[in-house]
Amino acid sequence: MVKLATFDAADYLDDEETIAEYLSAALEDPNPDVFLAAIRDVARARGMTQLAKDAGLGRESLYKALTPGAKPRFDTMLKLLHALGVNLSATPAHS
C-alpha cells in the first residue's frame, strides 16, 4: 500500500522571495479567503507566536484575524505583511 503525505504549503515557505511569490499568486484569486489562507500558511511557517510579536499583535488576535471567513482590518494585514518582510504593491490591470 502506498502511503501519501499530506501537502502543507507552510513546509515550503522558507524565504522572503518564496513567501512573496506565494502571496502574490493568492492575491490573483478573486476570492479574498484565498489570500487569508495564504497569510495563514505563511504565519504557520514562520511561527504564529513570533509573527504576533513581530506584528505587535496578541497571539489570540492573530489567530482570530486569520480564522477562515474572518474580515481582518486593513491595518492588521499591513502589520502582518510588514512583520513577514513583504510589501503590497499596485500594478495596472491588464485589459
Residue extents of the structural domains in the chain: 16-84
Instruction: Record the pTM.
Output: 0.83
pLDDT, tens digit (0-9, with 9 covering 90-100), for 62-80: 999 999 889 999 999 999 9
DSSP symbols for 46-78: H-HHHHHHHHT--HHHHHHHTSTT----HHHHH
Nearest to 38 by CA among 53, 50, 48, 24: 24
User: Does domain 16-84 correspond to CATH entry 1.10.260?
Assistant: yes
| pLDDT (0 to 100) of residue 52 | 94
42, 84 contact by CB (below 8 A): yes
- Count other C-beta atoms under 10 Å from residue 17's C-beta: 10
Q: What is the pLDDT of residue 50?
A: 92
